[in-house]
């Protein structure tokens, strides 16, 4: 509405011809072209046809009064500002209030005063110009948010695991969610999940997800432990986040044998472990750490809680937006309703039962916070297939030099508590040999050998402790205790790679400072009866060409080979 640039259009709505003629003449002096309606119904029709810049609306008219016509026009105008100035002969407060309640922006008392009309028109023009500027800024912000949302989805959510035994949902309270879900397989086939909840929600919270995703995926792919990943994320957030902003986190690592789960709950609601057949909650895994980004130094080992799993168990992760959702009657959804939905018998899955209960409870109540829900079922189908070592094609990206090399890496004393050597050694092998296709198998072999050397060799732990759920928890408690008290100990890796006809061969020897065991007597027994030959050792035998124990049983020696291109 800017008659200085182009002739603006005014709609005059009055059932009196004389009033229309007077107002038309006054508006012409202000630079306006006019169209006229005799009642509210005609006014609505002319609004559709001509889209006027300003409307002068009489109150009392036949067929449809000014109040009803204004309501219709304002509803259809939406975000477009179309000023409506009511024409009235009365000045009592109730009548004027009714004009404003109907959507009117101002009123003009009959008989019309030219200078008062001019001032009101100029005021409406200023408001219309401001409205256009705001709409332009809003459109720009909306476009930028769409671009940022696309980048966020591609960078953060796109690479998550897609598996029928994983169900998840994020419902943002605004354009962006402050909640995030990350999932990734580690080289050892452990499964890492991260549910994060930034303070607040919207674009500022969503931007914080970018560095978290970067650290989580990079460190998981390189085989770092969940403790190291958690510390890495915290360090990144301390560098990145402004004061007063932090990230609540549930970081979960499900072992590749589906026998255990390590949970790191930092300022989030309880993680629930649910028995599959009975739908009964077996464990509430409560928060034991501060949200990330609060403190500089984080001891992830103190936060970790390791629990046994049975096949068919469900892990339920959720943000506080779920339990703190409100109904139309101002009630909170709460823990009790969540647990009731979980235990509800019937054909519905736990996930669907929770969603239906939430939707029924909230009704049309506007969502105040982001809501996230994840259900993971511990089934063999959850795991990635282990690469068949013999069937793996040789990498086409490998050094042209086939020379031999050796590498020795040793951890001593307190370094055994602080450093995970496996990712470092694997990355060295990848740099030297460029055999990315072999990463998973090599990582599995190195991890199993190192865990055996540390747990059973240096720390002297007995695997038999893990035979039942109580013993399982005690095993990891005792492991942490012995690690904390460790004064002397050593694990040494000796690697050498040799060229053979059509293949390369890795000779790997892992030696620990423990007392060893009678490996000769053990090897004479059937494999199933050998306590040291658990699933991990059986897996090593499947992946490697050879596995044997040397010395007093504290040296494990394996041979691992792969084909090379002609």
CATH of the domain at 66: 3.40.50.2300
d(CA 193, CA 150): 22
Query: How far apart (Å, rounded) are the C-alpha atoms in residues 473 and 469?
Result: 6
Whether residues 368 and 411 fall in one domain: no
> What pLDDT does 566 receive?
64
In a domain, 146, yes or no: no
- Provide the 10 A C-beta neighbour count for residue 192: 23
Specify if 335 maps to a domain.
yes
150 token code pair: 């696309």
Residues 424 and 367 in one domain: no
Count of domains for the chain: 3
Regarding whether 418 and 338 lie in a shared domain, the answer is: no
For residues 438 and 368, membership in a common domain is answered with no
**Is 387 part of a structural domain of the chain?**
no
Residues 116, 182 share a domain:
no
CA angle, corner 336, sides to 333 and 341, nearest 5? Answer: 85
List CB contacts of 24: < 8 A, sequence separation 6 or more: 12, 34, 36
* CATH classification of the domain holding 493: 3.30.565.10
Q: Is residue 338 domain-shared with residue 421, that is, in the same domain? A: no
The predicted structure's pLDDT at residue 9: 93
CB atoms within 10 A of CB 35: 17
Do 289 and 199 have their domain in common? Answer: yes
Q: Among 198, 203, 281, 185, which Cα is nearest to 241's?
A: 198
Q: How far apart are CA 442 and CA 541, in angstroms?
A: 12
- For the stretch 131-150, what's the b/e string if a residue is b when 16 or more beta carbons lie within 10 angstroms of its beta carbon? beeeeeeeeeeeeebeebbe
The tens digit of pLDDT for each residue in 47-94 reads 999 999 999 999 889 889 999 999 999 999 988 899 999 988 777 778
* Whether residues 308 and 367 fall in one domain: yes
Q: Which pLDDT belongs to residue 108?
A: 86
Domain of residue 249 covers 159-382
Q: pTM for this one?
A: 0.69
> What gap in Å lies between CA 536 and CA 550, rounded to an integer?
18
- pLDDT, tens only, 202-259: 666 667 788 899 999 999 988 899 999 999 999 999 988 777 789 999 999 999 889 8
Query: Domain with 220 in it: what CATH number?
Result: 3.60.40.10
**118 & 248 share domain:** no
Residue 390 lies inside a defined structural domain of this protein: no
pLDDT at 397: 43
Please state the length of the chain: 566
Assigned domain for 526 exists: yes
Same domain, 371 and 412: no
**pLDDT number for residue 538:** 82
Task: Give the end of a domain, one of 321, 350, 382.
Answer: 382
My answer on whether 106 and 180 are in the same domain is: no
Q: Report the DSSP beta bridge partners of residue 550.
A: 555
CA 198 from centre of chain: 10
Low-confidence ranges of the chain (pLDDT < 70): 1-6, 144-145, 148-149, 151-155, 174-177, 200-206, 386-402, 519, 521-535, 565-566
Cα 292 to Cα 157, 197, 305: the distances in Å are 20, 10, 17
Cβ 453 vs Cβ 513: under 8 Å = no
On whether residue 391 sits in a domain, the answer given is: no
Domain-embedded: residue 475: yes
121 and 264 fall within a common domain = no
User: Is 148 a member of any domain?
Assistant: no
What's the Cα-to-Cα distance from 377 to each of 90, 180, 310, 315, 352, rounded to whole Å?
71, 20, 10, 6, 14
């Amino acid at each position: 509405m800017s008659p200085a640039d182009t002739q603006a259009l005014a709609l005059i709505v009055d059932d009196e011809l004389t009033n229309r003629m007077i107002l038309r003449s006054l508006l012409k002096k202000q630079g306006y072209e006019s169209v006229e309606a005799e009642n509210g119904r005609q006014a609505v029709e002319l609004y559709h046809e001509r889209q006027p810049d300003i409307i002068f609306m009489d109150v009392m008219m036949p067929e449809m009064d000014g109040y009803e016509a204004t309501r219709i026009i304002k509803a259809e105008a939406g975000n477009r500002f179309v000023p409506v100035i009511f024409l009235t002969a009365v000045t009592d407060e109730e009548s004027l209030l009714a004009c404003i309640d109907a959507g009117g922006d101002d009123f003009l008392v009959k008989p019309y005063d030219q200078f008062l009309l001019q001032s009101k028109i100029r005021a409406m023009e200023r408001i219309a110009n401001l409205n256009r500027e705001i709409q332009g800024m809003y459109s720009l912000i909306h476009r930028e948010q769409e671009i940022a949302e696309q980048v966020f989805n591609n960078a953060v959510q796109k690479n998550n695991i897609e598996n029928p035994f994983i169900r998840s949902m994020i419902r943002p309270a605004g354009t962006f969610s402050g909640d995030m879900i990350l999932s990734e397989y580690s080289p050892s086939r452990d499964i890492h999940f991260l549910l994060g909840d930034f303070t607040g929600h919207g674009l500022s919270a969503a931007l914080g997800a970018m560095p978290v995703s970067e650290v989580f995926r990079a460190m998981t792919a390189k085989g770092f432990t969940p403790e190291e990943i958690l510390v890495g994320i915290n360090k990144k957030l301390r560098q990145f986040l402004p004061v007063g902003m932090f990230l609540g986190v549930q970081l979960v690592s499900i072992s590749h044998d589906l026998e255990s789960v390590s949970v790191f709950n930092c300022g989030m609601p309880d993680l629930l472990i649910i028995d599959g057949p009975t739908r009964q909650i077996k464990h509430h895994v409560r928060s034991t750490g501060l949200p990330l980004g609060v403190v500089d130094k984080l001891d992830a080992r103190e936060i970790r809680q390791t629990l046994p799993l049975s096949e068919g168990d469900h892990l339920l992760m959720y943000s506080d937006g779920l339990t703190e959702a409100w109904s139309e009657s101002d009630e909170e959804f709460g823990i009790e309703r969540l647990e009731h939905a979980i235990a509800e018998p019937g054909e519905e899955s736990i996930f669907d039962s929770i969603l239906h209960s939430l939707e029924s409870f909230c009704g049309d109540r506007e969502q105040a916070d982001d809501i996230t829900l994840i259900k993971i079922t511990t089934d063999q189908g959850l795991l990635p297939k282990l690469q068949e070592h013999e069937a793996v094609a040789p990498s086409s990206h490998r050094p042209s030099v086939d020379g031999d090399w050796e590498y020795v890496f040793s951890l001593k004393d307190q370094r055994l508590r602080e450093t995970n050597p496996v990712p470092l050694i694997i990355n060295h092998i990848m740099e030297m040999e460029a055999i990315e296709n072999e990463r998973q198998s090599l990582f599995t072999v190195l991890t199993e050998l190192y865990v055996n050397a540390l747990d059973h060799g240096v720390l002297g732990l007995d695997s038999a402790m893990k035979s039942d759920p109580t013993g399982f928890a005690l095993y990891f408690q005792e492991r942490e205790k012995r690690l904390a008290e460790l004064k002397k100990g050593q694990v040494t890796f000796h690697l050498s790679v040799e060229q053979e006809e059509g293949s390369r061969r890795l000779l790997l020897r892992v030696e620990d400072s423990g007392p060893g065991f009678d490996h000769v007597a053990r090897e004479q027994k059937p494999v199933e009866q050998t306590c040291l030959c658990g699933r991990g050792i059986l897996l090593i035998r499947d992946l490697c060409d050879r596995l044997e124990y040397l010395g007093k049983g504290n040296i494990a020696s394996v041979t691992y080979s792969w084909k090379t291109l002609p």
